[in-house]
């Protein structure tokens, strides 16, 4: 329970409240009960219950614990539950609330870290080293709240935890079952940090009816019963298909989805309906009648030109008020949407356009580079230009000359990846950018390929390559300018790895500090010589080649604090050529573009004026 009254030594007049949260020092409602009425446990329990059930936002009264919003999906997958959750989080913040967003995924992988990008899109890395679903990237970009390990869980992690407890004997000989042991593990996860925020938004992956999702649906059903009435809300996202031949918007799939949800004990309070256009009044009333929700709780989620219009669009539809009503927040404070109005203005009123080529190996699925694409959009917004991204398959350059395919672009970005496939094409892209003075940003593997290109074509190390490719081929073919990282400092201790370790969770993960060289381009971009960025890699540029490469003009302008690991390289005689070992895209937001992407797009904008 969140404590909201002062310690015994404080006077009650010292209380200070603000909407959605309380800034008084620690204490408890029961403590005030003792002050006012003595130590009667009956009175203490009564006042505690009253505080939980009837705390009122608008009058500045305390919120004792988080309100929970569970977002589920039906009819089809990929409707955008993560985007809906993120936009709702932004709207709640605009009304003065604090929020945290979570993702519960039913798949049996422990986390997405070992999944192919073609299978699941990008893996979003957090400051504390979690490898999570890409939806957590939406959460961060819309709310600015850094995600944590405790914000993502899967069936694989749940079952692993349960089985580890069973092996330790934590269950005292009980027969382990889905109910209550698995569902209790899920409920414990949902409860983490509930006393830290005003609203906890939990997205359940998959769609209602999926067999692997049943323990999660049962867990949130139980969770809502465990909490006081009025503390949990269920939002269901569905599809309203438009039948062009008959000119009708069909509600039946949504009705069946809600019926399926109700059959497992969950009744939605809000319906968010994806559609190509507005939902007519007749269809809204029909959905409300057959799905047992209020007409104003049927929210249209129309297709948008930009995802960053979502907070404004959902506010126009009344989503945030429809969420406030079931919680008894009335009248709700007016939202301050100036931030999102500015974002929309920058998106829809650009003053130019730049073309950026992303030369990657997973270009068939754009979600594999979701954060990079969004970070480029943020950089464009900061520079008042539209960034036109064009995806170039790196393997194309294995067969063809890169020049005809890269001519006309104002900047080139080479992203990360794993394995040897497509790497020769990435090396050629780096070579083209260096020789033609085109702005270049290499991220993770993109930095390593730029270093290999410099080693081969400038420093004269003809056989330069990566140890990763030798490990994959099972034989030595290259001089390892890039090697397998076996040891690094993490805080006050050393982390050690071997090449035959398990793949899952064994990379250099999470936020690490870096020291930038005085007078370097990156120091000017960041406005500092000390930065912290997120990493996700197990191979690293070998510092024994540093002196030779720097003699050729490739400066190692960013290093780990102990000087052992290269973090950033840049060409001294190039207008904008930077490679980074970390993933700057993971920290970029529409209202706070990452400095590297902001300046990268600025350089592309300058190039466009010269063409």
What CATH number did the domain enclosing 335 receive?
3.40.50.300
Catalytic residue among 203, 420, 533, 585: 585
Angle between helices 214-226 and 183-191 (to 10 degrees): 60
Residues 400 and 291 in one domain: no
Overall domain count for the chain: 3
- For the stretch 37-80, pLDDT in tens is 343 444 444 444 444 444 444 444 444 589 999 999 998 888 89
Residues 32 and 75 in one domain: no
Residues 428 and 459 in one domain: yes
pLDDT value for 356:
97
Which range, of 4-8, 160-164, 466-470, averages the lowest pLDDT? 4-8
Q: What percent of the chain has pLDDT over 70?
A: 89
- For the stretch 374-400, pLDDT in tens is 999 999 999 999 999 999 999 999 888
Residues 212 and 318 in one domain: yes
Residues 320 and 411 in one domain: no
How many of the other CB atoms lie within 10 Å of CB of 60?
13
Residues 334 and 416 in one domain: no
Domain boundary among the residues 29, 62, 95 is at 62
Residues 516 and 378 in one domain: yes
- Helix segments in 407-466, DSSP class H: 423-435, 445-457
Indicate if 444 belongs to the active site: yes
Residues 6 or more apart in contact with residue 511 via CB below 8 angstroms: 127, 128, 532, 533, 534, 535
pLDDT value for 464:
94
Question: Which of 280, 262, 190, 174 is closest to 226 using CA atoms?
Answer: 190
Which residue bears the tokens 């030595």? Answer: 476
Residues 338 and 359 in one domain: no
Residues 486 and 604 in one domain: yes
Q: What is the mean pLDDT of residues 489-500?
A: 79
- For the stretch 521-564, pLDDT in tens is 999 999 999 999 999 999 999 999 999 999 999 999 999 999 99
Indicate if 583 belongs to the active site: yes
Residues 116 and 259 in one domain: yes
pLDDT tier at 25, thresholds 50, 70, 90: very low
Catalytic residue among 378, 537, 583, 594: 583
How many of the other CB atoms lie within 10 Å of CB of 464?
22
Q: Domain of residue 126: give its range.
A: 67-343
Q: What is the mean pLDDT of residues 445-456?
A: 96
Catalytic residue among 444, 467, 468, 594: 444
pLDDT value for 491:
77
Half-sphere exposure of 549 (CA within 13 A, CB side): 26
pLDDT value for 611:
59
Residues 332 and 394 in one domain: no
Domain boundary among the residues 343, 366, 387 is at 343
Residues 24 and 152 in one domain: no
- pLDDT, the chain, mean: 88
Indicate if 471 belongs to the active site: no
Domain boundary among the residues 16, 39, 62 is at 62
Cβ atoms of residues 416 and 448 within 8 Å: no
């Amino acid at each position: 329970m969140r404590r909201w009254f002062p310690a015994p030594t404080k006077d009650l007049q010292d209380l200070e409240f603000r909407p959605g949260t309380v800034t008084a020092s620690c204490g408890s409602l029961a403590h005030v009960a003792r002050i006012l009425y003595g130590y009667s446990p009956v009175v203490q329990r009564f006042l505690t219950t009253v505080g939980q059930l009837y705390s009122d936002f608008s009058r500045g009264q305390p919120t004792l614990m988080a309100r929970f919003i569970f977002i589920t999906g039906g009819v089809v997958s990929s409707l955008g539950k993560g985007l809906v959750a993120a936009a709702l989080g932004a709207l709640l913040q605009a009304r003065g609330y604090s929020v945290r967003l979570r993702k519960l995924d039913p798949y049996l992988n422990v986390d997405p870290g070992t999944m192919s990008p073609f299978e699941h899109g990008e893996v979003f890395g957090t400051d504390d080293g979690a490898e999570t679903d890409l939806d957590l990237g939406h959460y961060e970009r819309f709310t600015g709240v850094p995600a944590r390990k405790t914000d993502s869980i899967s069936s694989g992690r749940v079952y692993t935890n349960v089985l580890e407890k069973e092996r330790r004997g934590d269950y005292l000989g009980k027969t382990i079952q889905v109910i209550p042991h698995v569902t209790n593990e899920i409920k414990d996860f949902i409860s983490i940090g509930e006393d830290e925020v005003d609203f906890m938004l939990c997205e359940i992956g998959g769609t209602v009816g999926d067999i692997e999702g049943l323990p999660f649906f049962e867990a949130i059903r139980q969770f809502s019963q465990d909490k006081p009435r009025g503390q949990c809300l269920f939002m269901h996202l569905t599809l309203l298909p438009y039948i062009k031949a008959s000119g009708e918007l069909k509600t039946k799939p949504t009705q069946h989805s809600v019926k399926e949800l109700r059959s497992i004990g969950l009744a939605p309070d809000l319906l968010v309906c994806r559609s190509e256009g507005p939902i007519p009044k007749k269809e809204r009333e029909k959905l409300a009648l057959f799905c047992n929700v209020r007409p104003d709780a049927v929210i249209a989620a129309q297709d948008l030109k930009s995802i960053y219009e979502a907070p404004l669009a959902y506010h126009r539809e009344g989503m945030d008020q429809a969420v406030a009503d079931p919680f008894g927040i009335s009248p709700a404070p007016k939202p301050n949407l100036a931030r999102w109005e500015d974002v929309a203005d920058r998106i829809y009123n650009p003053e130019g356009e730049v073309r950026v080529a992303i030369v990657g190996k997973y270009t068939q699925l754009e979600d594999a580079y979701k954060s990079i694409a969004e970070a480029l959009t943020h950089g464009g917004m900061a520079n008042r230009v539209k960034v036109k991204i064009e995806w170039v398959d790196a393997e194309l350059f294995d067969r063809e000359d890169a020049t005809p395919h890269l001519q006309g672009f104002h900047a080139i970005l080479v992203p990360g990846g794993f394995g040897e496939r497509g790497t020769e094409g990435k090396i050629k892209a780096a070579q083209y950018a260096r020789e033609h003075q085109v702005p270049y940003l290499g991220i993770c593997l993109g930095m390593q390929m730029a270093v290999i290109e410099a080693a081969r074509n400038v420093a004269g190390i003809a056989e330069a390559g990566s140890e990763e490719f030798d490990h994959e081929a099972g034989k030595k073919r290259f001089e390892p300018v890039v090697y397998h990282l076996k040891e690094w400092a993490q805080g006050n201790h050393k982390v050690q790895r071997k090449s035959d370790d398990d793949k899952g969770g064994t990379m250099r993960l999470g936020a690490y500090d870096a020291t930038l060289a005085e007078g370097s381009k990156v120091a000017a971009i960041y406005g500092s010589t000390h930065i912290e960025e997120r990493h996700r890699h197990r191979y690293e540029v070998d510092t024994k080649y540093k002196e030779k490469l720097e003699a050729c003009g490739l400066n190692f302008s960013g290093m780990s604090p102990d000087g052992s690991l290269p973090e950033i390289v840049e060409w001294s005689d190039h207008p904008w050529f930077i490679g980074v070992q970390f993933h700057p895209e993971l920290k970029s937001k529409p209202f706070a573009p990452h400095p590297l992407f902001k300046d990268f797009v600025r350089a592309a904008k300058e190039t466009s004026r010269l063409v």
